[in-house]
Structure 1
Amino acid sequence: MLNRICGLLLFLGLLMVGTCVSAQLPIESYKNPQLPVEQRVADLLFRMTVEEKVGQLLCPLGWEMYEIRGETVTVSDKFKQLMKERHVGMLWATYRADPWTKKTLENGLNPALAAKAGNALQKYVMENTRLGIPIFLAEEAPHGHMAIGATVFPTGIGMAATWSPQLINEVGNAIGKEIRLQGGHISYGPVLDLTRDPRWSRVEETFGEDPVLTGGIGKAMVEGLGGGNLSQPYSTLATLKHFLAYGISESGQNGNPSFVGICELHENFLPPFRQAIDAGALSVMTSYNSMDGIPCTVNHSLLTGLLKNDWKFKGFVVSDLYSIEGIHQSHFVASTMEEAAIMALSAGVDVDLGGDAYMNIMNAVNTGRISNAVLDASVARVLRLKFEMGLFENPYVIPEKAKKEVRNDAHIALARKVAQASITLLKNDCSLLPLNKNISKVALIGPNADNCYNMLGDYTAPQEEKNVKTVLDGIRNKLSRFQVEYAKGCSIRDTLASDIEQAIAVSRRSEVIIAVVGGSSARDFKTSYKETGAAIADEKTISDMECGEGFDRATLSLLGKQKELLQVLKATGKPLIVVYIEGRPLDKTWADENADALLTAYYPGQEGGNAIADVLFGDYNPAGRLPLTVPRSVGQIPIYYNKKAPQNHDYVELSASPLYAFGYGLSYTTFEYSDLCVSSISPHSFEVSFKVKNTGKYDGEEVSQLYLRDEYASVVQPLKQLKHFERFYLKRGEVKEVKFVLSESDFALVDRDLRTVVEPGTFQIMVGSASDDIRLQTKVEIK
């Protein structure tokens, strides 16, 4: 017994000694959450090899890094090899599913499996790598997380058509939550490219042509995505695309050079990015184009001089996919891939999307062609954000929560609300709309009347059909099955796949015709894709796709037999309502002249069919406004409302005016403006107030817009520039006083020395409901 007691005492003593020794052993500072982030970053950097540092800057493609086995997900051998050889710090598009990735509803990840995949990847790197650095998962999210089971909102151009930052803030919040629930961290979007050429294939992703509207919508989206507060559970690193002037490429060709002056960059193209960065965006993506002979991916003055030094940007810069390779292979300004990598990193590109080019950085550092300090600066930017997001402490998510809350009822309702708000009524002769639900029969005709994928736009994952509401679905929810008859009539592009005779027969049996035409960005397995994911347009492929990345147009006309279809429908003599589903402003001259009612719904997302039906049958009064100018002809391009003086003059054979102006959109009701008042707050600040009255028969929303013109300035100025806008609801007969404050920044210009200054002079104040529908005007003097 005594021996047992002595043995127990000896064991307890040794245990206490061991505990004391353990308590005194130093732990790595970077693993201590109580220490400041900068101290943790410095400690981790000190411990890393060159190879491990470079690995943090690599962002290879992620969809081959997991394997699904029933209800479990494990890491793939390819991922294990990748970590062993490259020590990668992040993955791109791990959850992405589309024809390019060959991930389908059958072999892709649903939200629960996505969360499990993210957990498996994190567990492997935390437990099987030397330093246990968690990885970032970057995901495409321009109008919803591009993953199976996520909510699909209207594309960017549709969101901009709402002219409602408040609504888009809610969208950002929903997108961020769905990404984080599934284990993602970085959201690619919003797209802040200003677009002035509708031939360009990516118009649908943008917020239009104007810096103020784009900046306001972009800021709201970034704040909804978390506003840079990474300690919040659903905050993502918003990645702004694309830096810079990518949307005005020569000939409308994606990735072509952009020709733009330095003052123009500072006046129009940079402000939306600055506004979004000030709102908390922590990642900026470079663009494929060059400016003045310098590829944007190696533009040191933009990426380092302006972005990091002048703007004090604290996030990281990421290349567009393989754009570093493009320095060598497309732009031909680097003779080797190593030279291209050195140029990009030296210019300020922190992360290599694609992950192959920066593998050359190790040799460049070891041979002294680039310094350790340059490498460390970029690595520190990435590590700091991982610490701020708390990934070192908890990189895992809860699969059951993802299953329950991704694409929840509230997000679906929001998708419908945004789609409703985006729909833009362009024509409504004799108040044909809204339709009476007691109508005897509606003929629903057209290639976009019942095609779920044509509702969604590019950067969309495969969908279960029940998740997407087409126009036919929406109208059937309003009417009995005896009141609506459908015929496709023709395809978007394929001239062989048509049955116009059936469409005529259906139309003749109806009281009114609703024709749904336009375009499509729906990717399919018949289309070929570049390694960047851009589609390849060729004569062999006759899919519906005529828009979306890589599908630039030479014309804007309806393709296939769509115009012929509209003409024969008009010939029936029945009232004709034309609905455009489109990713760019297609030619609407025939519809403008011949349709009784005309509207565009852009790509309205998964609830678009319900939203369109809501508008057609009066359950929602449309208030969308055009976020870009609709030309009469491609011969007018580029055409945009805020062009600099002088005023355009007519062509020999065509008016210089657009078919529909920026900011235009009709309502089922009417609004009257009155009582414009301007009062001085300070020498460079004024309050502008006016009254708006709903004078029509319906409750509805108006979008009031305030424009300025500097009458005489030291540099040429726009003839009209939007400065403020507000969307608001008024009941029949209701009056609202609207107030805007014009601040010093509203009157400022960029002078010849690139200084932002306010010059003395006279400014016209113009208030109205569109850029060409000014209701009230006055002038102020700046002294």
Structure 2
Amino acid sequence: MAHHHIRLLSGIFAALTLLPLRAQQQPDPATLPYMNPALPIDQRVDDLIGRMTLEEKVSQMRDRAPTISRLNIPRYDWWNEGLHGVAFAGNATNFPQVIGMAATWDTDLVHTMGQTISTEARAKYNQAMRDNDHEMFFGLTFWAPNINIFRDPRWGRGQETYGEDPFLTGRMGVAFVSGMQGDDPKYLKLVSTPKHYAVHSGPELLRHRFNVDVSPHDLEDTYLPAFRATVTDAHAQSVMCAYNAIDGAPACANTMLLRDHLRDAWHFDGYVVSDCAAVADVNTGHHYAPDMAHAAAAALKAGTDLECGFGQGQAFPALVEAVKQNLITEEEINTALHRLFRARFRLGMFDPPSTYAYGRIPFTEDNSPEHRALSLKAARESMVLLKNENHTLPLKSGTRHIAVIGPTAELVQSLQGNYNGPPPNPVYPLEGIEKRFSSAQVAYAQGSTLAEGLAMPIAHTALHPSKGTGSGLTGEYFNSKDLSGTPILTRTDRRINFNWDKVIPIPGLERNNFSIRWTGTFTPPAPGDYKLGVRVNYCYACENAEGFKLYFDDRLILESSAKRTGERGSVIEAPITLTDTKPHPIRLEYLHGSGSAGIDLTWQAPAAALRDEAVQAARSSDVTIALMGLSPSLEGEEMPVKLEGFSGGDRTAINLPAVQEELLKAVAATGKPLIVVLQNGSALAVNWAQQNAQAILEAWYPGEEGGTAIAQTLAGDNNPAGRLPLTFYASLDQIPPFEEYSMKDRTYRYFHGKPLFNFGDGLSYTTFAYSAVKAPSAAVKAGDPVTIEGTVKNTGPVAGDEVVELYLTQPQSPETPIRLLAGFKRVHLNPGQSTNVALTIDPRQLSQVDSKGTRTILPGEYTISLGGSQPNGTSTTQTTKFTITGQAELPK
């Protein structure tokens, strides 16, 4: 018996002593098959998934995928943004907002822009991995482009799109996606995610519960073609499903979209990610599922592989419970997980960076001089000249006195657009004009706010430093979070309108824990009631830890030390009544701990006082340049904005806000020539300006070099050739209600009225003529492409680009559009130079969609128009006809 106990104890002791040895004998993850770059990717993915528990699998199906240390899987955040430059990840090249890129009608440029964005994203990611930094927005899976159709000018997010036309949007989307993802046969440079799939274009405040009853015709004819193109032509490796429901089924649980079209018809082989909280909306917003487990199961079964969710807006954690309830199987989870990890392996995340070219891209590529030059080229190409009475533009070289007025002349938000990274040195329109017309006297006045009730950064003319002369405030920058110590830099800041999202404001500071004190005087333009305020950067999907104090007349009037300093675009204000126009001491202390840094010192000044300043500037000048429009503080994604003409990010009116139009009328009354430059992301009904201003230039949100591009265009250094990618309606009376998704009476393809400006409109400083337009003389068999040829000649005095636009008029049926864009090409011609252009119309553009959603090429006579605009009876557009025989039905 004693021997038995001894043997038992000995066995237990031996087993215990072997435990560390057995732990040591566990295979090193680095030696396992999934870490072997020589093996096929699918084999590596299956090997990795086979080693994971159910709970681990589910954890990797959320945008913030955690570390699994035992398998050497690092934390990864799938959420990254890059619509027109890497966003929310520090300094990056800021290209024109997407609607401006669409106005270039230059797919080669958009492709190059996509390549550049992906290069900067790789540079940031590579550096982050070297620093062992797995921070949000420094990844390789990008939720761009936005290829929804800008069907209604009231939609605040239309600025993120390529406009109203499915063909133009599709070609731009293909160019962007292919540029982003690269051309390496083994590795992806990035993953590009076309969004929001599908039938998504407002209203913002209803998006979490809104259902769209879309007709089969409109679905196939308008809302799906661009998505199809990015999947079938550019091989996008991800697609984002939308918030809204379609025909009663939420987009992220919609089998018609995700299975029938995306995977079965288009053979999509990537992964689907939800918009943020869209899977939770399946339960909480649409009430399509009784609880989160059923919502998650419905989304997974339909084809959603990855959930973006936060707070209460998470559903995929319930997938574990869904398996236990037999709502789904673990095999279905494996299928989704395989798609996700296949993308990560193709991105090289489990291979040594030195072994592939994309892994070696250096951080010096970020906002390089070459990339900044590309941003300027894009901004120049995006300029659309809408009116130029009596050749007012370009400005004459002898112009000596220029008045620059308007609320966007010095507003960084109206350069950047939304979903942007902060450029290190943005060029404001006023600065661009001052530099380009350095021999002239330039008088500036802000003139008005953007919209009544909206706070604006205080005009630099009202601020003066504590010592010396000039405009602005004295800024002292401290390498501490409480203004302690000696400033590492003291300088004069012309305006307090800064975006430092994940940026070090000046050398010597860290990203976190710095502080700034601005001091000087505030001189009101007139006595009256003012509101002085402070706006801090909204921290996207995170929290700020910072505070500020504002002193006026040596009295504390505003203070904030809250961890979260407010909603997107919010401002904290204090009313001030002033009875004089004397200088008043002002001091702003900014204490930044962490989060998204950035601050505006704002005012709401009496409208008459601002307007009178602008009128005075106009009176003393030879010409007035009015910088007008909107900003992403007014139009954008689901914002807490409620002002006249604006609601929740969308617009309730499309005219220029009244306070701006009153300013235009006041300066025009001086009798001086008036040039209106618009900065906006959506169409503006500038009827008064069209009738009364001498020139109108549409500049969009033009990016970091926008001020340079505007000035060069006004001077004639840049001959504008941009074209409108959407219709500018004369009023909302011309179009159906916002909530109506039918395309009847919408966009140039179905609108029978007379707009203010047509889709495709744009003037030049030179003239062009078209001739020798040829179509096939023999009948074309249905299903074959058609090539149209023509000659375009620069018949004017200066070199310039021309956008050749090809429109097709098809045999008529009840659903046939009036006309449709079937081809385009941007060409450069010197004076007297001509070139031959050949544009091929592919079968899908020749086809049309019937009421049942069937796409067919019909027999009959087709009319084509070739010119620099839509056919309008002018000599610049040439037309011809061809015939198609037979009939051919095309796949979805």
TM-score (structure 1 length as normaliser)? 0.81
Return the offset for 1:534. 3.3
1:383 aligned residue (317, 341, 362): 341
Q: Hey, what's the Cα distance between the residues in 1 that align with 2:325 and 2:432?
A: 64
8 Å CA contact 2:865–2:871 kept in 1: the answer is: no
Return the offset for 1:640. 3.9
Q: What is the RMSD of the two structures over their aligned residues, measured on CA atoms?
A: 2.8
Q: 1:145-156 to 2 correspondence within 5 Å?
A: 145-146=86-87, 147-156=89-98
Return the offset for 1:287. 1.0
Secondary structure of 1:225's aligned partner:
helix
Q: What residue is the counterpart of 2:192 in the other structure?
A: 238
Q: 1:694-773 to 2 correspondence within 5 Å?
A: 694-713=794-813, 716-751=815-850, 754-773=853-872
Q: What residue is the counterpart of 1:292 in the other structure?
A: 247
1:369 aligned residue (323, 327, 332): 327
- CA deviation profile, 1:485-527 (whole Å, cap 9, x unmatched): 111111112455241111111111100000011100048xxx9
Q: What residue is the counterpart of 2:654 in the other structure?
A: 556
Q: What residue is the counterpart of 1:504 in the other structure?
A: 615
- CA deviation profile, 1:269-292 (whole Å, cap 9, x unmatched): 211111111312111011112222
Are residue 624 (structure 1) and residue 624 (structure 2) matched? no
Q: What residue is the counterpart of 2:519 in the other structure?
A: none
Paired residue type of 2:640: I
Give identity over the alignment, percent.
Answer: 36
1:188 aligned residue (113, 120, 143): 143
Q: What residue is the counterpart of 2:109 in the other structure?
A: 167
Q: 1:333-482 to 2 correspondence within 5 Å?
A: 333-354=288-309, 356-394=314-352, 403-462=363-422, 464=424, 467-480=425-438, 482=440
Are residue 132 (structure 1) and residue 73 (structure 2) matched? yes
Secondary structure of 2:432's aligned partner:
helix
- CA deviation profile, 1:366-410 (whole Å, cap 9, x unmatched): 221211121111000001111222211236999997542200001
Q: Hey, what's the Cα distance between the residues in 2 that align with 1:136 and 1:250?
A: 26
Secondary structure of 2:444's aligned partner:
strand
- CA deviation profile, 1:634-658 (whole Å, cap 9, x unmatched): 11125544434xx73xxxxxxx211
Distance 1:694 1:387, change over 3 A: same
8 Å CA contact 2:208–2:281 kept in 1: the answer is: no
Secondary structure of 1:484's aligned partner:
strand
Q: Which has the higher helix share?
A: 1
Paired residue type of 2:446: K
Are residue 213 (structure 1) and residue 213 (structure 2) matched? no
Secondary structure of 2:143's aligned partner:
strand
Q: Hey, what's the Cα distance between the residues in 2 that align with 1:551 and 1:294?
A: 25
Return the offset for 1:145. 0.6
Gap runs ≥5 in structure 2: 1-24, 126-138, 454-603, 737-744, 886-892
Secondary structure of 1:241's aligned partner:
coil
8 Å CA contact 1:437–1:478 kept in 2: the answer is: no
- CA deviation profile, 1:405-438 (whole Å, cap 9, x unmatched): 2000011111111011001000000000001233
Secondary structure of 1:696's aligned partner:
coil
Q: What residue is the counterpart of 1:311 in the other structure?
A: 266
Q: What residue is the counterpart of 1:607 in the other structure?
A: 705
Q: Which moved more, 1:746-755 or 1:198-207?
A: 746-755
Q: What residue is the counterpart of 2:690 in the other structure?
A: 592
Q: Hey, what's the Cα distance between the residues in 1 that align with 2:56 and 2:439?
A: 63
Are residue 664 (structure 1) and residue 761 (structure 2) matched? yes
Secondary structure of 2:235's aligned partner:
coil
8 Å CA contact 2:29–2:71 kept in 1: the answer is: no
Distance 1:669 1:136, change over 3 A: same
Paired residue type of 2:445: A
8 Å CA contact 2:768–2:794 kept in 1: the answer is: yes
Q: Which moved more, 1:659-668 or 1:334-343?
A: 334-343
Return the offset for 1:44. 1.6
Secondary structure of 1:53's aligned partner:
helix
Return the offset for 1:456. 1.1
8 Å CA contact 1:194–1:209 kept in 2: the answer is: yes
Q: Hey, what's the Cα distance between the residues in 2 that align with 1:292 and 1:517?
A: 40
Q: What residue is the counterpart of 2:462 in the other structure?
A: none
Q: Hey, what's the Cα distance between the residues in 1 that align with 2:290 and 2:790?
A: 61
Return the offset for 1:250. 9.8
Q: What residue is the counterpart of 1:675 in the other structure?
A: 772
Distance 1:321 1:506, change over 3 A: same
Are residue 782 (structure 1) and residue 884 (structure 2) matched? yes
8 Å CA contact 1:250–1:259 kept in 2: the answer is: no
Q: Hey, what's the Cα distance between the residues in 2 that align with 1:753 and 1:631?
A: 30
2:641 aligned residue (534, 537, 545): 537
Q: Hey, what's the Cα distance between the residues in 2 that align with 1:748 and 1:265?
A: 15
Secondary structure of 1:194's aligned partner:
coil
Gap runs ≥5 in structure 1: 1-20, 61-87, 90-124, 649-655
Return the offset for 1:730. 0.8
Q: What residue is the counterpart of 2:483 in the other structure?
A: none
Return the offset for 1:130. 3.7
Paired residue type of 1:588: V
Are residue 691 (structure 1) and residue 649 (structure 2) matched? no
Q: Hey, what's the Cα distance between the residues in 1 that align with 2:320 and 2:787?
A: 58
Q: What residue is the counterpart of 2:221 in the other structure?
A: 267
Q: What residue is the counterpart of 2:50 in the other structure?
A: 46
Secondary structure of 1:138's aligned partner:
coil
Return the offset for 1:129. 3.9
Q: Hey, what's the Cα distance between the residues in 1 that align with 2:735 and 2:264?
A: 36
Q: Hey, what's the Cα distance between the residues in 1 that align with 2:824 and 2:235?
A: 22
Paired residue type of 1:151: T
Q: Hey, what's the Cα distance between the residues in 1 that align with 2:419 and 2:283?
A: 27
8 Å CA contact 1:243–1:284 kept in 2: the answer is: yes
